[in-house]
Amino acid sequence: MSDKKQPVDEARKNAKHEAAMKKQKTNVDASIAAADEERGIGILLTGNGKGKTSSAFGMVIRALGYGYKVGVVQFIKGEQLSGEELYLRDQCPEVTFYQMGTGFTWDTQDRSGDIAAAKRTWEVARQLLTDNSVHLVVLDELTYMLSFDYLDEQEVLDALVQRPASQSVVVTGRGGGSSLQSIMDTVSEVKEVKHAFNKGIMARKGVDF
């Protein structure tokens, strides 16, 4: 391509870009105008890739930035200390933070103890789901309580559906089932393309936990 041609090509590219952006803006504005329902959102973050819990805590930070009240309930977790636990417990006393604290089922190897712990933990979640002063509730790894049948699915679905209209809820964990998916407004599946662990790289403090 000769140097002389470039300004003409650039002008054509700029004009094409401007026309495409104008068209895109019309579409975006129309979509924004059509979304006129203002209420809390039900979000399910599922799939086998990394990023579900981290994404949920990203939304916790967003809510805290506006001074909203937040509740976080972690099912399964609690054996292994995590950065989010340290930060929320020490720096954010306004966040209601509760962990089931049993660790992974393959570590506890105690089904009836796990079920009792799941029910205690669900009670905390259920309370948060009735409190309209709480803007955002995170139910981390809740899906496993349903797939292991530790909690009654219908009771969980009812509590999620009947939560205050202003409240958003984020549920994380692999699976979750079609009923849970159908009552949520946003469902994202994090797909594993690859994970460092499979290359023999250890879980990293401040990144993985």
Binding site for ligand ATP (CB under 6 A): 48-54, 172, 190, 192, 195, 197, 203, 208-209
Residue with tokens 């079609």: 178
- The CA dihedral of 100, 105, 108, 109, to the nearest 10 degrees, is 140
User: In this chain, which stretch among 25-33, 42-50, 52-60, 88-96 interacts with Mg ion, using CB under 5 A?
Assistant: 52-60
CA distances from 193 to 51, 198, 203 (A): 12, 11, 17
Task: Tell me how far, at minimum, the Cβ of 144 lies from ligand ATP, in Å.
Answer: 9
Residue with tokens 């054509």: 12
Residue 115, C-beta contacts closer than 8 angstroms, at least 6 positions apart: 150
Fill in the DSSP letter of residue 42. Answer: E
Q: Which lies closer to ligand ATP via its Cβ, residue 51 or residue 78? A: 51
What number of other Cβ atoms are within 10 A of residue 13's Cβ?
Answer: 10
Q: Which lies closer to ligand ATP via its Cβ, residue 21 or residue 196? A: 196
Question: Binding to Mg ion by residue 168, rule CB under 5 A?
Answer: no
Choose from ligand ATP, Mg ion, none: what does 119 bind? Cβ within 5-8 Å by kind.
none
Choose from Mg ion, ligand ATP, none: what does 208 bind? Cβ within 5-8 Å by kind.
ligand ATP
Task: Tell me how far, at minimum, the Cβ of 49 lies from ligand ATP, in Å.
Answer: 6
Question: Binding to Mg ion by residue 53, rule CB under 5 A?
Answer: yes
Task: Tell me how far, at minimum, the Cβ of 18 lies from Mg ion, in Å.
Answer: 44
User: In this chain, which stretch among 8-16, 53-61, 112-120, 124-132 interacts with Mg ion, using CB under 5 A?
Assistant: 53-61
The residue count for the chain: 209
Question: Binding to Mg ion by residue 121, rule CB under 5 A?
Answer: no
Helix axes 111-128, 153-161, angle to 10 degrees: 10
Fill in the DSSP letter of residue 175. Answer: -
For binding to Mg ion (CB under 5 A), which residues are involved?
Answer: 52-53
